[in-house]
Structures are given as C-alpha cells and as structure tokens.
Amino acid sequence: MYDFCIIGSGAGAGPIAYELTKSGAKVVILEKGDFYKEDDFNKDEVANTRRDILTPNLKDEFHVLESFENGSWIKTPTFKSRWSFWNGNVVGGASNFMSGFFHRMHPKDFRLLSEFGKIKGANIANWPISYDELEPFYEKVERVVGVSGKIEPYKFSEPRSTKNFPYPPTIEHPISKLIDKSTKELGLSTMKTPRAILTKLQGTRDKCYYSNYCGSYGCSSGAKGSSRAALLQKALKSKNLTIITNAQVVKLIEKDKSVQEARYIDKDGEEKTIKAEIFVLAAGAVESSRVLLNSFSKNFPNGLANNSGQVGKNLLFTAGGVVSGEFDKDSMSLEDLMIEGVFVNRTIKDWYFLDNKTKGGIVEILFEHANPIVKANRQKLSNGKLIWGEELQKKIYEKLNHKKQLNFEIFNDWIPHDDCFVTLSRKYRDKYGYPVAKIRIGSHPQNIKIANTLAKGAKKVLRKMGAKNISSSITPYPAQNLQAGGCRFGDNPKTSVLDRNCKAWEVKNLYVSDGSFMPTGGSIPYTWTIYANSFRVAEVLKKL
C-alpha cells in the first residue's frame, strides 16, 4: 500500500512526486512508457520524428477524431489519418519533447468571463483561483525546474515577486536584432522569450549546448526542464519514489465513492493492480478523461466522478497557425544568417489584448525546425510541379546552405464550447481491449477570427524585415501537442469536475493535476501553468 499513486509522469505529475517524496510520503508512479535518460536521447530525425518510438504505434493504440466536414461530423481513426494525438509516452511525458517556451498567464486570463463577457456559443468561465494565488508557484518553477530569460518592461507584463529569472537568457541568433529594429519602427515591442532551458549548471543537469534540435527531441544534456530531468530523477534519490514503467492504466476501481486501486496492464499483457490512500490522475487531458470514462461503477454509471456529465467536456487546444517568411543574403550576411543552434528568443505580446472587449494572443518567433529531411522534402515542388534530378539537387542545396525560413507562430485562446470534447468510441478498442478516446475537434469561430487578426500583424513585421515568399497558414484544426481541459475545476460541482484544489467533487481521494483542470488556457503554451498548479496542489496533498 502506497500513500500516493500518480498516473502519468509529465508536467502535472512531476511536481507532486517531487514534493511528496521530500516530505517522506511513499509514492508510486504508473507510466505507460519506458524510462529514457539523457544518454538514451539522440538527434536522429528518422528515429525521433519519423517513427513511433517515443509514442505508441497507431495500429495498437489510437484515437478517433470527429471533425466537421461538408455539413456533418466525420469520424476517422488516427491509424488511418496518421494524425497522432500522442505526445510522448515515456517517463516525463511530453515535457521531454517541448520547445520550452514558458509564458505566465496574465491576471486577466483568470477572469476572462468577468473581463470580456460572454461569447455566443462558448463556455467561458472564470477560474476559481487568482493569478496572485498561483504566482508563488510560477516563481517556484523558475527556480526548481529552471527558467532562463531576462525581465524587461513590455506591454501587458505580469506582476512578479522577483526582479528577474534565475538563469540568464540563451544565446541569440543575429536575426533577433533585425526583429527588434523592425518591430520598433512599426511601433511594436518584443520581449525575450523565457525558456525552460538551463544556461548554467544545476546539480547534475548540464547547461544547453545549442544542438539545433530542441522541440520534438529529448534533451541529452538535461538542460531542458522536463519533468523527468528536473524533478523525477531527483525524487528517485529520496528512495520514497517507485516508478513502474510500461504500465497502461485502464481503470480506477471505486467503492463507497473512494478509489480503492488502479488497474493496469504490463508489457507482458498481465493485468495488475496498485493500492494507495490517495490517487492523482495526470495522464494528459485526453487520456485522463478516457480513464475516468472507462472507470464506470454502480455509483458512477457514466464514468468515475462524472455524475455531473462534465468529464471530457470543454476540451482545450491552442488556436492560431503560422506566418512564414524566407531570408537570404539580401536580408543579412550569409555568415550571420546560417548560424545554427542558437535561439531567436523573441515574442510579440502587444496583441495579447486587442481592446477592452477582445482577447488576442501572442506571436512566438523562431526558425523552422532543423530537420533536414523535412526541409529537403519540401523542395520537390516548383510552381506546383514535381521536380527531380539535378534541378531538385540544386534546389535542396540552395535551401540548406543559403536560405532560412522564419516562422511567426500564433497562439490565441482556444474557446471552450460544446463541440470540443472527449468521449469513448463505441466501435474501436485498443490492443488492451478498452474503448479508445473519441475526440471531437470542433473549433469556435472566434479562434480563426483572432488568429487572422494576429496574422495580419505578423505579415507586416516580416515585410518590414525584408522577408521573401511570405505565406500564412491559419487553421481551425488544433495543435495536438497542446492539450488541456476535460476535467475543469470550479466552485460549482454541477458545472465542474474538480474543486479549486483539483480534487474530484464526487470522489473522496481522487485528484487530477495535469492540464485537464484548466477552464481556459490563455494565449500561451500551457506547460508552465500546469507545472505551477501541480506545485500548488502538492502543497494541499502534503497536509492530508
């Protein structure tokens, strides 16, 4: 019998295991993937991004996506579409493979409904906690996980309890100066992007060595602030943490409105159980909802903690898209342009609030991914026609040696509404024999409206910089690597799954600490907020 059983090991799990084991509690983590460490990670593009090595094979484990096409909802299993919604099934979860853009939510993000009012067809809700309550834990993430950057005055700055980040900013590419100059001439401002990347040693974790392969890759130096590198590997030294890998949790067993045990299947297909006093679900927004929905019982015929019917509802992704421009020797010297490895580290936040009635978003500026296969593959077309041989060879050479694409990634709020949710498929089951998650990925019209507004601003900046071949890709489809919602917290058990401390209203000993708790997500990547809230919940759990 353990004191605590945590399901999952990512950003929602790591802080809780870290804090509880320090306090002397006996903790077990059930992780469906393997345990990879720094020495196991490499920069092999085929292995890391072209194969199902760090995520399940879609023939074995998949989702069913429901998208609105030609006036009706179309269901497509992801083993057919090859559109994977798995984000890293290893110890540390998706935090191993993030780019590490760390932005705090703004105080107004916690009270969107009060600040901006209702949006037709949307389920906007205020948070039951304030920015001030979460701020100390944002600061704790900076120190413990490690966030690098530099605080400079910028529009819509968030209040801080410290004057600067504990780690100086990462080394910047020369194009950052051109970005600063061009935005200033347009009356805009930029900020140095905070990164969950160490620029100095922290214990056994090394500083960044600027490999040029960050997002989508595990970090072989330990500089990236993954849950595994920053928290779990330290927690293991306490001898109070047990991590069981290759453990697919399929059901939580409930009695008298209390979870008695977690049922999981090991890599040999054998069904096993774990008992604990307290259970913490942190499997990721989609999978946490799926576990609860599959955990039906006499007391919860529609799924554990779901007598309100709210489990799986109000799923969140991030809205936006990408505006791109190409740079060559006409923009700056090739010697400067083709420098590899270092970061752009620039964000435009001037459009975070468009006016007193409209929430906007951010523009994160970065070069296209370094993957050479992807870059080369995109050169096979010229004027809409397929090219090959010497013509293709010359084009690939020119692309890899004389040109760079700068991306302006747009992040704006994914509006929660009734057509974005998780439920169970009645038709499909995974290799373990359990119903897979069916994800309706309907997008609210506000998502595209705001993204297009930000895209216009991004194009102006690129034109000012002298970019060529400017293009825009704004889509209603979600970015699958950023997931939240599905078990929102609140003050009313009829309209939320969790209370303000992320305990299930209807279950005595169940907490949910991944991004599922979020009623709204802000116009930023979610990871820092998930980390901060998990540290906050850990303080509650230590007092039980």
Summarised one tens digit per residue, pLDDT across range 487-537 is 999 999 999 999 999 999 999 999 999 999 999 999 999 999 999 999 999
Mean pLDDT across the chain: 95
- Give the pLDDT confidence of 120-148 residue by residue, as tens digits: 999 999 999 999 999 999 999 999 999 99
Predicted pLDDT at 381: 87
Q: What phi and psi values does residue 263 have, to the nearest 5 degrees?
A: -100, 130
List 423's β-bridge partners, or say none: 438
3-class SS of residue 108: helix
Output the pTM of the full model: 0.97
Find residue 252's DSSP bridge partners: 262
Q: Cα–Cα distance between 55 and 32 in angstroms, integer?
A: 10
Closest CA to 229 of 240, 218, 238, 239: 218
DSSP 359-376: E-EEEEEEEPP--HHHHH
Kindly tell me if the per-residue pLDDT of 399 is higher than 80. Answer: yes
Q: Is 59 exposed, middle or buried (0-12, 13-18, 19+ CB in 10 A)?
A: exposed
The average pLDDT across 443-470 equals 97
Q: Which CATH number characterizes residue 304's domain?
A: 3.50.50.60
Residue 22 one-letter amino acid:
K
Average pLDDT (271-300) is 98
pLDDT recorded at residue 156: 92
Number of structural domains found in the chain: 1
Q: Are strands 353-355 and 510-512 parallel, antiparallel or unpaired?
A: unpaired
| Residue 165 domain-assigned (yes or no) | no
| Cβ atoms 207, 198 nearer than 8 A | yes
Other CB atoms within 10 Å distance of the CB of residue 400: 14
Helices marked H in 23-130 — which ranges? 45-49, 78-81, 112-116
Lookup: tokens for 1: 């019998």
Distance CA(109)–CA(523), nearest Å, equals: 9
- Within a 10 A sphere around the Cβ of 301, how many other Cβ atoms? 9
How, if at all, do strands 404-412 and 319-327 pair? antiparallel
> What is the Cα–Cα distance from 474 to 362, expressed in whole angstroms?
14
pLDDT band at 327 (very low <50, low <70, confident <90, very high): very high
Query: pLDDT-derived band of residue 70, with 50, 70 and 90 as boundaries?
Result: confident
Q: Residue 227 falls within a domain, yes or no?
A: yes
Q: How confident is the model at residue 45 (pLDDT cuts 50, 70, 90)?
A: confident
Q: Are 252 and 405 in contact (CB under 8 A)?
A: no
User: Residue 47's pLDDT is what?
Assistant: 81
Tell me the residue type at 458.
A
- What per-residue confidence (pLDDT) applies to 52? 80
Positive or negative, the CA dihedral 453, 459, 462, 463 is negative
440 falls within a domain: yes
Confidence band (pLDDT; 50, 70, 90) for 53?
A: confident
Q: What 3-state DSSP class applies to 12?
A: coil
| pLDDT tier at 476, thresholds 50, 70, 90 | very high
- 156, part of any domain: no
Which regions of 38-155 does DSSP assign to beta strands (E)? 64-69, 72-77
Average pLDDT of 100-116? 96
Residues 6+ apart with CB under 8 A from 483: 85, 87, 284, 285, 286, 315, 316, 317, 515
For residue 153, the model assigns a pLDDT of 87
Q: Give the integer Cα–Cα distance in Å for 203 and 220.
A: 15
Residue 50 has pLDDT above 80, yes or no: no
Distance separating alpha carbons of residues 343 and 150, to the nearest angstrom = 14
> What is the band of 479 on the pLDDT scale with cuts at 50, 70, 90?
confident
b (16+ CB within 10 A) / e for 127-156: bbeebeebbebbbbbbebbbbbbeeeeeee
Give the model confidence (pLDDT) of 403-427 as tens digits: 999 999 999 999 999 999 999 999 9
Assess if residue 158 is contained within a domain.
no
Q: What is the pLDDT of residue 510?
A: 98
Q: 485 pairs with which residues across the strands?
A: 315
Residue 376 scores a pLDDT above 90? no
Helix residue ranges per DSSP H, 56-130 = 78-81, 112-116
Give yes or no for residue 51 having a pLDDT over 80. Answer: no
Helix axes 131-141, 527-542, angle to 10 degrees: 100
Reduced DSSP (H G I as helix, E B as strand, rest coil) percent helix, strand, coil of the chain, to 5: 25, 25, 45
536 and 139 Cβ atoms separated by less than 8 Å: no
CA 316, 318, 321: angle at the middle one, nearest 5? 150
Domain around 55? 2-150+170-542
pLDDT tens digits, one per residue of 217-232: 999 999 999 999 999 9
| Residue range 342-366, pLDDT digits in tens | 999 999 999 999 988 899 999 999 9
pLDDT (average), residues 325-334: 94
Average pLDDT over every residue of 105-119 = 96
DSSP state letters, 311-360: TTEEEE--EEEEEEEEE-TTTS-HHHHT--S-B--EEE-TTSEEETTEE-
Give me 243's structure tokens: 């991590």
| Whole-Å CA distances, 270 to 106, 131, 249, 263, 430 | 46, 45, 12, 11, 15
Report the pLDDT value the prediction gives residue 15, as an integer from 0 to 100.
98
Q: Given pLDDT bands bounded at 50, 70 and 90, which one contains residue 540?
A: very high
